Amino acid sequence: MTIGAGCWHTLGLLGGMGPAATVDVLDKIVKATPAARDQEHIPILVRCIPQIPDRTAALLGRGPSPVDALIQGAAALRRAGAEVLAIACNTAHHWYQPIREAFGLPVVHIAEAVMYELRESDARGPVGIMATSGTILSGFYRQYLEAAGYVVLAPLPGSQVGEVDHAVDCAKAGDWNGARQSARYGADALFRRGAGQVVLACTELPLALAGLMPAGRLLDANQALARACVRAALCHDRDIPARVT
């Protein structure tokens, strides 16, 4: 079923963190849209500014805060005409509240999008989280998942640094062979510890693990965000729930 032209709210996509991940989210939004012709697609304004300070470095106390740049980006998208906002970076959701305040209209939360997908799946057992050290430290995924009754497994320290963070670093540097190998090791470690499903909660990880593991074992947060963007942009779904963390 397609939606007639003119039935969408304009989506703003705050990206650049990193550029390849922004492209992946945008591609998945297009593919998730129930459209039969150009005019039935969501109007999207994309702001891809890679110079936003590193989010994980800021959370670990090793770099400047990105919050001013994130607020500036959200406000710029609002001035340009965006009516609902999505943030194409998991770690940046640590600053969700000031971003939403700057935007002034609904902002999709990626953890809520993931929760929606988990409820729709038939996954059993603990939920593993593969994310940057910054996202793990922020704790918003654990907060959302545990509040919903899930048992959460985060990578052990050695796996976090040597496999998950390394995979993200390789992806950002364009070393996709290194990213794939390290990400696979990180996912396998969580499955060995009993995870029934692993959430790829960094926007680079779905790119690194694409097609490498059986369907249903990995939950792609980029895909979850894309589907949530489509739901949020529908005319009847303007007032989307957006829990402030």
Residue in 197, 196, 206 with CA at minimum distance from that of residue 226: 206
Determine whether 170 is an active site residue: no
Could you tell me which residues are beta bridge partners of residue 198?
128, 218
Determine whether 202 is an active site residue: yes
Burial of 185 (0-12, 13-18, 19+ CB in 10 A): middle
Q: How many whole angstroms from its chain centre is CA 212?
A: 20
CB atoms within 10 A of CB 158: 9
Instruction: Return d(Cα 95, Cα 212) in angstroms, integer.
Output: 32
Point out the catalytic residue in the list 7, 48, 89, 229. Answer: 89
Place of tokens 């430290």: 137
Point out the catalytic residue in the list 7, 48, 202, 235. Answer: 202
Catalytic residues: 89, 202
